[in-house]
């Protein structure tokens, strides 16, 4: 079997035989796969009337466990956005009835953002559908191959997720 990356690598090999294009074998496949996965995820989110950023914030709250609340600062770290962006997102989610702002009992100036029942229902449905699609995407791999791939990808990601990421 041949994929688009095989054709790309062959073309570069013919045009620039002086370069080692071996990294394309892995990284171009990861890049192409990421684009396909993004399309699949967006389709799930559209089906649940969610934007990707909404899903990110709601799942961060859902993963926190009962009572499904976090400070805006913790949400910032979980979603990798600026404080101004997070304030805007919380405002929009609150208007949609998916989160509430509550006073922080440990900080009189602070707030906690809590997932509402409607928000929990929406994120639970979207997450279940997303997992069903992702299981289908991985159906061609054996459990052992999935574990191997997961470990290899973890090895590639760890330097980026560390406190001192690569340049």
Domain ranges of the chain: 1-48, 51-136
- Chain CA centroid to CA 55, Å: 9
CA distance 154 to 125: 28
What pLDDT is stored for residue 166 in this prediction?
A: 57
pLDDT score for 78 = 86
- Distance (Å, rounded) from C-alpha 93 to C-alpha 86? 10
Architecture of the domain whose range is 51-136: Orthogonal Bundle (1.10)
pTM above the 0.85 mark? no
Across the range 86-90, mean pLDDT stands at 93
Percent of the chain predicted with pLDDT > 70: 97
For the cut 70, the answer to whether the pLDDT of residue 165 exceeds it is no
Q: Does residue 87 surpass a pLDDT of 80?
A: yes
């Amino acid at each position: 079997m041949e994929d688009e990356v095989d054709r790309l690598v062959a073309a570069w090999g013919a045009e620039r035989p002086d370069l080692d294009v071996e990294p394309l074998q892995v990284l171009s496949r990861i890049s192409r796969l990421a684009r396909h996965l993004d399309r699949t995820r967006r389709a799930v989110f559209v089906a649940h009337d969610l934007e990707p950023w909404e899903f990110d914030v709601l799942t961060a709250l859902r993963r926190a466990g009962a009572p499904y609340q976090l400070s805006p600062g913790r949400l910032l770290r979980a979603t990798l956005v600026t404080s101004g962006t997070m304030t805007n997102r919380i405002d929009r989610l609150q208007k949609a009835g998916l989160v509430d702002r509550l006073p922080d009992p440990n900080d009189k100036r602070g707030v906690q953002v809590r997932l509402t029942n409607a928000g929990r229902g929406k994120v639970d449905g979207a997450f279940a559908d997303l997992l069903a699609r992702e299981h289908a995407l991985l159906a061609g791999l054996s459990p052992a191959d999935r574990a191997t791939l997961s470990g290899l990808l973890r090895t590639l990601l760890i330097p980026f997720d560390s406190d001192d990421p690569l340049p």
